[in-house]
Structure 1
Amino acid sequence: MAATINTNVASLTAQRNLGISQGSLNTSIERLSSGLRINSAKDDAAGMAISERFTSQIRGLNQAARNANDGISLAQVAEGAMKAAGDILQRVRELAVQSANASNSISDRQALQQEVNQLVAELDRVAQTTEFNGQKLLDGSFGTSQFQVGANANQTIVAATANLRTNVYGNNQVSGTAAGGTGAQAAIAAASAYGSNGVAAGSLVINGALGSSETIAVATGAHAKDVARDINQQTQLTGVSATARTEAQLAFDTAGSYAITLESDNTPDLKTISFSLTSPTGSEGLSAAVQAINEQSSKTGVIASLNKDASAIVLTNATGNTIAVGHTSSDNAGIVSVTKMVGDGSGGTAVLGTPQTMATNAGAVAVAVSGYITLDSDKSFSAASTTTSVLDGAGTGTLNSDLKKVSELDITDFSKATHSLKTVDSALSYIAGERAKLGALQSRFETSIASLNITSENMSASRSRILDADFAAETANLTRTQILQQAGTAMVAQANQIPQGVLALLK
Structure 2
Amino acid sequence: MKINHNIQALNAYRNLAQNMNNTSKSLEKLSSGLRINRAADDAAGLAISEKMRSQIKGLDIAERNTLDAISLIQTGEGALNQTHEILQRMRELSVQASNGTLEEQDRTAIQNEVDQLTFEIDRIADTTQFNQKKLLSGSEQGTAFAEVNSSQVAYAGNGTWQGTVNAAPSKPASVDLVFDQAVGALSDTTNPSQIEGKTFIINNKKYEVVTSAAPTNITTNGNIAVKVNWTTSTTDAGKISNVNNLMTAIKGAVELNDPVFKDTVANSKITNATDSAPAEGTPFTGKLTLSSSNNMSVADGKKVSFSFTGFNQVKAYSPDTTTAVTTLVGSPVTTTSASTQLTFSGLPTASDAVPYAGDELIIDGQTIRFSERTSGSTATTATINIKDKNIFEVLDSIKSVLETKKAGGAVPAMSSVDVVGSTLVLSTDRTDDGASNGLDISLKDVDFEANKDKDLELDMHIGANASETLKITIGVMDAAKLGLARAADGSYLTAGVNAVQGVDVSSTEAARGAITRMDQAIRMVSEERSKLGAIQNRLEHTTLNLQMSNENLTSAESRIRDTDMAKEMTNFTKNNILNQAGQAMLAQANQLPQGILQLLK
Shorter-normalised TM-score: what interval? 0.5 to 0.7
Find the counterpart in structure 2 of residue 504 from structure 1.
598
**Aligned ranges for residues 89-104 of structure 1 at < 5 Å?**
89-104=87-102
Distance 1:430 1:483 in 2: 80
Deviation per residue, 1:341-371 (Å, 9 max, x gap): xxxx999xxxxxxxxxxxxxxxxxxxxxxxx
Find the counterpart in structure 1 of residue 576 from structure 2.
482
> Which of 112, 135, 146 does residue 114 from structure 1 map onto?
112
Q: Contact conserved, 1:120 with 1:406, CA < 8 A, in 2? A: no
The change in CA–CA distance for 1:407 and 1:486 in structure 2 (over 3 A counts) is: farther
Deviation per residue, 1:180-211 (Å, 9 max, x gap): xxxxxxxxxxxxxxxxxxxxxxxxxxxxxxxx
- Quick check: 1:149 aligned with 2:462? yes
SS at match of 2:459: strand
SS at match of 1:160: strand
Q: Contact conserved, 2:118 with 2:479, CA < 8 A, in 1? A: yes
Q: Contact conserved, 1:167 with 1:407, CA < 8 A, in 2? A: no
Find the counterpart in structure 2 of residue 160 from structure 1.
473
Deviation per residue, 1:391-447 (Å, 9 max, x gap): xxxxxxxxxxxxxx9965111111111110110111011001100111111111111
Distance 2:124 2:491 in 1: 26
Find the counterpart in structure 2 of residue 50 from structure 1.
48
Find the counterpart in structure 2 of residue 445 from structure 1.
539
The change in CA–CA distance for 1:29 and 1:163 in structure 2 (over 3 A counts) is: same
Q: Contact conserved, 1:406 with 1:427, CA < 8 A, in 2? A: no
SS at match of 1:158: strand
Distance 1:51 1:42 in 2: 14
Q: Contact conserved, 1:166 with 1:407, CA < 8 A, in 2? A: no
The residue type paired with residue 64 of structure 1 is A
TM-aligned CA deviation for residue 457 of structure 1: 1.2
Distance 2:590 2:19 in 1: 19
Distance 2:111 2:566 in 1: 81
TM-aligned CA deviation for residue 148 of structure 1: 0.4
What is the TM-score when the length of structure 1 is the normalising length?
0.53
SS at match of 2:34: coil
The residue type paired with residue 158 of structure 1 is K
Runs of 4+ with deviation above 6 angstroms? none
The residue type paired with residue 41 of structure 1 is A
TM-aligned CA deviation for residue 42 of structure 1: 0.7
TM-aligned CA deviation for residue 125 of structure 1: 0.4
Find the counterpart in structure 2 of residue 17 from structure 1.
15
The residue type paired with residue 112 of structure 2 is Q
What is the TM-score when the length of structure 2 is the normalising length?
0.45
Q: Contact conserved, 1:82 with 1:431, CA < 8 A, in 2? A: yes
Find the counterpart in structure 1 of residue 511 from structure 2.
417
TM-aligned CA deviation for residue 9 of structure 1: 1.3
TM-aligned CA deviation for residue 169 of structure 1: 2.2
Q: Contact conserved, 1:169 with 1:406, CA < 8 A, in 2? A: no
Q: Contact conserved, 1:68 with 1:449, CA < 8 A, in 2? A: yes
TM-aligned CA deviation for residue 170 of structure 1: 3.0
The change in CA–CA distance for 1:17 and 1:346 in structure 2 (over 3 A counts) is: closer
The residue type paired with residue 467 of structure 2 is N
The residue type paired with residue 99 of structure 1 is A
Distance 1:128 1:141 in 2: 12
Q: Contact conserved, 1:96 with 1:420, CA < 8 A, in 2? A: yes
Distance 1:112 1:148 in 2: 47
Q: Contact conserved, 1:71 with 1:147, CA < 8 A, in 2? A: yes
TM-aligned CA deviation for residue 141 of structure 1: 2.2
- Quick check: 1:471 aligned with 2:469? no
Question: Over aligned residue pairs, what C-alpha RMSD do you find?
Answer: 2.3
> Which of 425, 428, 431 does residue 525 from structure 2 map onto?
431
Find the counterpart in structure 1 of residue 244 from structure 2.
none
The residue type paired with residue 100 of structure 1 is S
TM-aligned CA deviation for residue 449 of structure 1: 1.0
> Which of 68, 73, 80 does residue 82 from structure 1 map onto?
80
TM-aligned CA deviation for residue 101 of structure 1: 1.7
Distance 2:128 2:15 in 1: 74
The residue type paired with residue 122 of structure 1 is E
Distance 1:446 1:126 in 2: 26
- Quick check: 1:35 aligned with 2:129? no
Distance 1:152 1:83 in 2: 35
The change in CA–CA distance for 1:464 and 1:79 in structure 2 (over 3 A counts) is: same
Distance 2:73 2:467 in 1: 21
Distance 2:63 2:102 in 1: 57
Deviation per residue, 1:141-198 (Å, 9 max, x gap): 2621100011111211101112112112238xxxxxxxxxxxxxxxxxxxxxxxxxxx
**Aligned ranges for residues 11-410 of structure 1 at < 5 Å?**
11-141=9-139, 143-170=456-483, 408-410=502-504
The residue type paired with residue 552 of structure 2 is N
The change in CA–CA distance for 1:460 and 1:433 in structure 2 (over 3 A counts) is: same
Distance 2:467 2:11 in 1: 61
Find the counterpart in structure 2 of residue 295 from structure 1.
none
Distance 1:407 1:145 in 2: 32
Distance 1:59 1:68 in 2: 14
SS at match of 1:42: helix
TM-aligned CA deviation for residue 492 of structure 1: 0.9
Q: Contact conserved, 1:28 with 1:478, CA < 8 A, in 2? A: yes
Deviation per residue, 1:314-361 (Å, 9 max, x gap): xxxxxxxxxxxxxxxxxxxxxxxxxxxxxxx999xxxxxxxxxxxxxx
Distance 1:85 1:408 in 2: 14
Q: Contact conserved, 2:75 with 2:130, CA < 8 A, in 1? A: yes
Where in structure 1 are there 5+ consecutive unaligned residues?
A: 172-344, 348-404
The residue type paired with residue 550 of structure 2 is S
TM-aligned CA deviation for residue 462 of structure 1: 1.1
The change in CA–CA distance for 1:457 and 1:483 in structure 2 (over 3 A counts) is: same
SS at match of 1:144: strand
Distance 1:476 1:434 in 2: 64
The change in CA–CA distance for 1:131 and 1:412 in structure 2 (over 3 A counts) is: same
Distance 1:478 1:17 in 2: 16
Q: Contact conserved, 1:346 with 1:416, CA < 8 A, in 2? A: no
The residue type paired with residue 148 of structure 1 is H
The change in CA–CA distance for 1:71 and 1:58 in structure 2 (over 3 A counts) is: same
Distance 1:166 1:469 in 2: 63
Where in structure 2 are there 5+ consecutive unaligned residues?
A: 141-455, 485-489, 493-498
TM-aligned CA deviation for residue 5 of structure 1: 1.4
The change in CA–CA distance for 1:101 and 1:406 in structure 2 (over 3 A counts) is: farther
The change in CA–CA distance for 1:78 and 1:7 in structure 2 (over 3 A counts) is: same
Distance 1:502 1:407 in 2: 119
The residue type paired with residue 529 of structure 2 is R
